[in-house]
Amino acid sequence: MGEIKKRWYVVRAVSGKEKKVKEYLELEISRLKLNDFIDQVLIPTEKVFQIRNGKKVSKERAYLPGYVLIEAALVGEVPHVIKGIPNVIGFLGTVKGGEPVPMRLSEVNRILGKVDELSESEEEMKIPFVVGESVKVIDGPFNNFSGVIDEINEEKKKLKVMVKIFGRKNLLELSYMQVEKEI
């Protein structure tokens, strides 16, 4: 028997149930001994940071909610096994209920590259702030004061915020994690 050609496919899952789908898929793969046909099941995730009770918390979340990537050879019963998994809606394809369309290699590499970058790169944050934007201080001695961003220092992940204290404007240097956007 020759080498089995595997391609990457996108499996649509109920949003928020991606981890369960991955677990069920992996259980079924080992139970039905489909390891020759299915190589890996991936949920593309990204690290996001939140402040909970004044502490910086790192959390992983799916950056393509509702989608699970799978490297597989869709032969014989394999597509039916995958579609039969709880919370799986079906494959991503051109026609609803039609043939699954494999991903282009460039797309796969871009997504895998992003996944690899996230696992390798030291916790990196996007700059969620803009000069002139109103923010509220949520940590430190000036908690609950509001101000306007005057300057952003990306390297140090700090902001200079103009805050009115007792009727006078003061420039505070705060970290990204000490402020939140005002709604």
Stated pTM of the model = 0.60
Compute the distance between CA of residue 124 and CA of residue 48 in angstroms, rounded to an integer.
Answer: 9
Of residues 85 and 157, more confidently modeled: 85
pLDDT for position 74: 92
pLDDT higher than 90, residue 124: no
Going by C-alpha positions, the residue among 165, 158, 130 that lies closest to residue 144 is: 165
Backbone angles phi and psi of 178, in degrees to 5: -95, -5
Q: Exposed/middle/buried for 97, CB within 10 Å: 0-12, 13-18, 19+? A: exposed
Mean per-residue pLDDT, 125-152: 87
Give the three-state DSSP class for 90.
Answer: strand
Confidence of residue 67 (pLDDT cuts 50, 70, 90): very high
Q: What is the pLDDT of residues 38-66, one digit of tens each?
A: 999 999 887 777 777 777 788 888 888 89
Query: Domains of the chain, with CATH numbers?
Result: 7-120 (3.30.70.940), 134-181 (2.30.30.30)
Confidence of residue 139 (pLDDT cuts 50, 70, 90): confident
Sequence-distant (6+) residues with CB within 8 A of 126 are: none
Side-chain half-sphere of 75: how many Cα atoms within 13 Å? 10
Compute the distance between CA of residue 6 and CA of residue 182 in angstroms, rounded to an integer.
Answer: 49
* H-run or E-run covering 61: strand 55-62
Compute the distance between CA of residue 38 and CA of residue 6 in angstroms, rounded to an integer.
Answer: 8
